[in-house]
Amino acid sequence: LGNWKEFTYQVSINNRMLDFLNNDQNTNTNPNENFAREILELFTIGKGEQAGIGDYTNYTEKDVEEAAKVLSGWRSTKNNRGLYTTGPENGNLPRGYAVPNKHYFGRKEFSHRFSNYVIEEWDTTNKTEEEKVARIESELREFITLVLDQSETAKYVCRKLYRFFVSRKITLEIENDIISPLATIFRVNYNLEETITTLLKSKHFYD
């Protein structure tokens, strides 16, 4: 019920997610787009209506490719599970780790669906392994911020909450009067508890 942005980051480096959606096989020389596709399609912004070949209104195939580059270089912790954890603020859960020589540090340019946003190339010359790992982690956080800053992402998450707690039927009126205001609240600080509390205390919920 905390911060959805941090939750999305922690899910992305979770051991089971790295295994299940093959991101521990995603490298700079052999990209695997499975998790990159799923984080866009299922976990954050959603596809939207097909707008053209490889264009799904909310993102494009190019965005999947660029996201895969951002997500490259992560590995799941098969052994020594206590070595890499989420930290005390996130329960000290085992998590994956970044391998710099498997990560793509080059330029990533997203499509017009993300206003052609660019994560610039990063020169690794004379950088320590710690600096490289920090860069990989910051790129992932930058990507997540980019996706969550899109207004459709908050709406997509709020529709999921509505379908779970209220009804699977979302009319145009509900979209305008319930989903959009909820999404506005959610985007302030991505706090799930505040968003869910607003929904469950609403007159609409009791009606």
Tens digits of residue pLDDT in 64-103? 999 999 999 999 987 665 688 888 988 888 899 999 999 9
> In the prediction, which pLDDT does 201 show?
96
Q: How does DSSP assign 3-23, residue by residue?
A: BHHHHHHHHHTBHHHHHHTTG
Mean pLDDT of 162-175: 96
> In the prediction, which pLDDT does 82 show?
63
Contact 85, 97 (CB under 8 A): no
> In the prediction, which pLDDT does 83 show?
80
Longest dimension (CA), the chain: 63
- Residues with Cβ within 8 Å of 60's Cβ and at least 6 positions away in sequence, in order, are 54, 111, 112, 113
Give percent of the chain with pLDDT exceeding 90: 89
> In the prediction, which pLDDT does 92 show?
87
**Cα dist from 99 to 126, 199, 205, 207, whole Å:** 17, 42, 47, 52
Cite the DSSP H helix spans in 3-128.
4-12, 15-20, 34-38, 61-70
CA distance 69 to 140: 10
pTM value?
Answer: 0.94
Burial class (CB in 10 A: 0-12, 13-18, 19+), 65: middle
**Helices and strands (DSSP H and E) totals, the chain:** 10, 4
Under the banding of pLDDT at 50, 70 and 90, the label for residue 148 is very high
Task: Give the number of C-alpha atoms closer than 13 A to the C-alpha of residue 158, restricted to the C-beta side.
Answer: 29
Under the banding of pLDDT at 50, 70 and 90, the label for residue 185 is very high
CA distance 179 to 176: 6
> In the prediction, which pLDDT does 80 show?
61
> In the prediction, which pLDDT does 79 show?
66
Contact 181, 194 (CB under 8 A): no
- Comparing CA positions, the residue from 74, 15, 4, 67 lying closest to residue 38 is 67
Mean pLDDT of 168-181: 96
> In the prediction, which pLDDT does 102 show?
98
Q: Is the pLDDT of residue 42 over 80?
A: yes
For residue 121 the two structure tokens come to: 């190339």
Under the banding of pLDDT at 50, 70 and 90, the label for residue 128 is very high
For residue 130 the two structure tokens come to: 């710690």
> In the prediction, which pLDDT does 21 show?
96
Q: Is the pLDDT of residue 207 over 70?
A: yes
Across the chain, mean pLDDT equals 95
> In the prediction, which pLDDT does 191 show?
94
> In the prediction, which pLDDT does 166 show?
96
Q: Is the pLDDT of residue 24 over 80?
A: yes
